[in-house]
Amino acid sequence: MTTTTPARPIENAYSAGQLPRWAPLTILIGSLAIVVIIFMFVQAGQPAGEFNIVGALLSGVVLFAIVLTTVSRLVEGHRRATDRLVTTLVTLAFLIALVPLISLLYTVLINGAARFDLDFFTLSLRNVVGEGGGAAHAIIGTLQMTLAAAIISVPIGLMTSIYLVEYGRGRLAQAITFFVDVMTGIPSIVAGLFAYSLIVIFFGPGVRLGIAGAVALSVLMIPVVVRSSEEMLRLVPNELREASFALGVPKWLTILKIVLPTSIAGITTGVMLAIARVIGETAPLLVAAGFTNNFNYSLFSDRMQSLPVYVYSSYISQGTDAQSYIDRAWAGALTLILIVMALNLLARIIAKIFAPKTGR
């Protein structure tokens, strides 16, 4: 009678040992606790001062990475330990990148809340010295100039991208692409000087107009719109174009009825992001549109205030009651951030609404 010995399961060298799920969190808490105790012990023998939270956190994370990698190497093997180490470093880099953003938002929110009231959104700074006043004239000016810049730049940028994708061949297309790349990197002050020089030709020297600020912003917007629209148009499958051509549809109608509707979500998102990119520009508006404390509802009449210039002028022109000027500057910065956040949210909503329906 023969007996068969059951075969032993083959162990996988890469999954033979595995740390429990609670191990990384436990090691992290323990590392932070040890570092905090060490920092408190070291600081106890020195003059009283603030506890170095940042140093303690960084030291705790470094200790956590070392301990976790060592334990993982002993239990799980070399590959898994390397994976955990790289994951820890990537996560740490992500958290470090978030620190300035969170700090900025927190600082602006705390300081801007002091003047974030109804008067700030309904009053101007006309005849205001010291406390009081608002930024309604700057908000109106910002919206007017940004809207005018979008009206100027979106058709030009979209038509340029259509030409580059659908028609552009040879040296002309290469030249356009080159100049678009150059315009993407020009300093914003150059756009302001260009707009001012253009207005001087028609209205004479020393003139500051809201339309000049809109032209300056459009110079900065056009390359962004061209690049984003070009990428979206290139993502449209060629099969859609070929199917339209096979039915005898002319090229211009194919672009109008097939290509643009397919890419409209991405194009709209790119336009909204381009607007969000230029709405915070200060230098070109300071040169081209100037600044004023009065309401101005006409782009073609006199100077026009904008939120970035409002923040700048409030900060550098502090009077006897300096805190009032600083509070207005912080409130203006908070308003500008909220407008940019609203534009980004609107871009996401529009992209979701106009995204091609797959039928799934």
Domain ranges (residues) in the chain: 22-114, 120-354
Q: What is the pLDDT of residues 144-197, one digit of tens each?
A: 999 999 999 999 999 999 999 988 888 888 999 999 988 888 888 999 999 999
The whole-number pLDDT of residue 11 equals 47
Q: What are the residues whose beta carbons fall under 8 Å from the beta carbon of 222, sequence distance 6 or more?
A: 153, 156, 157, 160, 180, 183
Mean pLDDT along residues 266-282: 88
CB burial of 239-278 (b: ≥16 within 10 Å; e: otherwise) equals: eebeebeeeebeeeebbeebbbebbbbbbbbbbbbbbbeb
The whole-number pLDDT of residue 350 equals 79
pLDDT of 46 above 80: no
Query: Which CATH fold topology does 120-354 show?
Result: MetI-like fold (1.10.3720)
- As a whole number of angstroms, the distance between CA 220 and CA 304 comes to 19
Q: What is the pLDDT of residues 121-148, one digit of tens each?
A: 888 888 877 788 888 999 999 999 999 9
Other Cβ atoms within 10 Å of 110 Cβ, number: 11
pLDDT of 216 above 80: yes
Q: pLDDT tier at 48 (50, 70, 90 boundaries)? A: low
**Taking CA 270 as the corner, what is the angle to CA 268 and CA 272, rounded to the nearest 5 degrees?**
70
Find the length of the chain.
360
* Higher pLDDT, residue 317 or 305: 305
Give the pTM. 0.79
The whole-number pLDDT of residue 6 equals 55
CA neighbours within 13 Å on the CB side: how many for 189? 1
Mean pLDDT along residues 99-116: 89
Contact 125, 295 (CB under 8 A): no
The whole-number pLDDT of residue 14 equals 42
- As a whole number of angstroms, the distance between CA 51 and CA 36 comes to 9
- As a whole number of angstroms, the distance between CA 307 and CA 290 comes to 12
- As a whole number of angstroms, the distance between CA 105 and CA 90 comes to 23
Query: Mean of the per-residue pLDDT values for the chain?
Result: 85
The whole-number pLDDT of residue 97 equals 87
